[in-house]
Amino acid sequence: MSDKQIELPALITIRDLAQKIDTSPIQIIKNLMKNGVMASINQTVDFDTAAIVAAEIGYEAVLESQEAPVEKETGEVPLWRQMIANEDEAALTMRAPVVTILGHVDHGKTSLLDAIRDANVAGGEAGGITQHIGAYQVEHHGKPITFLDTPGHAAFTAMRARGAQGADVVVLVVAADDGVMPQTKEAIAHAKAARVPIIVALNKIDKANANPDNVKKQLGDNELVPDEWGGNTIIVPVSAKQKSGIEDLLEAILLVADNAGIRANAKGEVIGTVIEAQLDKSKGPVATLLVQNGTLNTGDIVVAGTVHGRLRALFDFRGNTVQKAGPSVPVAVMGLSELPAAGDVFRVVASEKEARQIVAERVEAARKQAGAAKKMTLEELFARYKAGEARELNLILKADVQGSLEPVVNEINNLGKGEIKINVLYAETGNITENDVMLASASQAIIVGFSVQAEVPARRLAETEGVSIRLYDIIYRLTEDVEKALKGMLAPEFTEKVTGKAVVLVVFGLSKGGKVAGSKVLEGEIRRNGKARLTRGKDIVYEGEIGSLKHEKEDVREMRTGFECGIGLKNFSDVQVGDLIECFVLEKKEAE
């Protein structure tokens, strides 16, 4: 190991760590994945985690402004301890636990949150919750508990991860009549990656087909062994519908929080997490901040990611104006220059000059990292194998239904018995999402889709991160391509180049049948010999060829930004006003 020594703070983002140890963020994410930690480029890690990564690169890390590294307890450093690493022990006091509720869709997360709120209002809280800011506080026996109101549907996987990272305790909702489902396992993974204790709320116990013992066995199989079976996971039977077990659940939360000794210094450095942000027509950018140490005041200058600003107003979850917010208190704030990203760590700085300098440094660092990733294709994999640099092919598989996924996985695994090993990192149903692309980028994997589409944001991210996405509709073509790659015979890949975008303003019917989309070119150029992708909202409705392109009844070869034209799509007439048409061409990838 090298004797190079660097100083690292108690908390550091993946991006900043990469700069300090002179490596790429993707390499750091890969190292973290090997140790079971899933992280994004803007995510914050604690000193111990950063020190391990630095050591693998050849650096010895020491903690800034500390004589010794952060105290280790069980080998896992909770988020709240990371936040207060530089605080004086004598100044620390107990604070309210921050709780997020995770679990599978339809298992009753929203109903449970409603039941907790209703119970608190009945206990004498006047007015109830009048403003949604993504978080709120309740009291149990005079002790406050902060809940993060994060959605749990599969489409908001990233938001669930944010909730687990920002919480001290995770309540995992599992339906007693349904058991552990895919999203349940996903939620468990998020909580474990965040090093957060898990309490299981066994919901729907009032149903006739409830089977608590079977669910407990399934939880045990996923390393959540019930305390009654000798494990360390508290399982609380509840019924959100009948509002039973709520008191027991709140009691369990406070018990776990007391054992964890969650503390903060209300007079210390102000630091916390961005819960959510939205653009209000009358107020401008409004962000919900969860204070985790120190006290946030009106007039403070805050930096969150690449956003900064002086706070003009603070609002609590009831919508009331407040002047300050202490540890574990969520507030909606006005005054930031733009919308920060959910999950960003925020800090209070001394001056606007300092804030601008920090933001400028982060923007410049992001610019330098852009485009650094090299695209890994099947062809390049075989070239690396021949050069002795690769011994396995990492794949992420997405299919339309479970019935398709299993045979595809089996066929792929059968191919991976030769000299190059095939490693299926992740196989699931559904369209290709941004999460799939991030996993592929970190692990140098190729995404293979069967009878699915890649969502538009995922396509854009794949281009930025250098991730190869290959889509198929026939199984044998998919397996044939992989087999050819393993044998070094795969034909060159064609890459997609977007030339322009247009919006449909009006739809014209043709006398011979079919329809023409009267459109305005928003950017680039629409080409008659190009291909077209029509999107409606977030859905891809059509992907095919442009049949005709006209300008004032004249056939044209291309139309540029600002001009209006008529676009006819081959074998497709279900065009609607407001649809977006993206024109692209396929270019043959040059061999390297």
- Does the pLDDT value for residue 132 go beyond 80? no
- 550 pLDDT more than 80: yes
pLDDT of 226 > 70? The answer is: yes
The pLDDT of residue 200 is 94
Model confidence at 98: pLDDT above 60 = yes
Give the pLDDT confidence score for residue 119 in this predicted structure. Answer: 62
pTM: 0.53
Q: What percent of the chain has pLDDT over 70?
A: 80
Residue 402: what pLDDT?
Answer: 73
Residue-range domains of the chain with CATH:
4-77 (1.10.10), 94-263 (3.40.50.300), 271-368 (2.40.30.10), 378-491 (3.40.50.10050), 497-588 (2.40.30.10)
Question: How many Å apart are CA 251 and CA 169, to the nearest integer?
Answer: 13
More confident residue, 46 or 580: 580
Task: Say if CB 304 and CB 287 are below 8 A apart.
Answer: yes
Which runs of E-coded beta strand occur in 159-294? 169-175, 198-203, 234-237, 263-264, 271-280, 284-293
Long-range pairs of 425-431 with CB within 8 A, sequence gap ≥ 24 = 425/394, 425/395, 425/396, 426/396, 426/397, 427/396, 427/397, 427/398, 427/399, 428/182, 428/397, 428/398, 429/398, 429/399, 429/400, 429/401, 429/402, 429/405, 430/154, 430/398, 431/398, 431/455, 431/458
Give pLDDT tens digits for 453-502: 998 888 888 887 778 888 988 887 888 887 776 665 455 567 788 999 99
Q: What is the pLDDT at residue 159?
A: 39
Torsions phi, psi for 243 (to 5 deg): 55, 40
pLDDT (tens digit per residue) in 406-464 = 778 888 877 766 556 787 877 788 899 887 887 777 667 889 998 899 988 888 888 87
**Structure tokens belonging to residue 190:** 């998020």
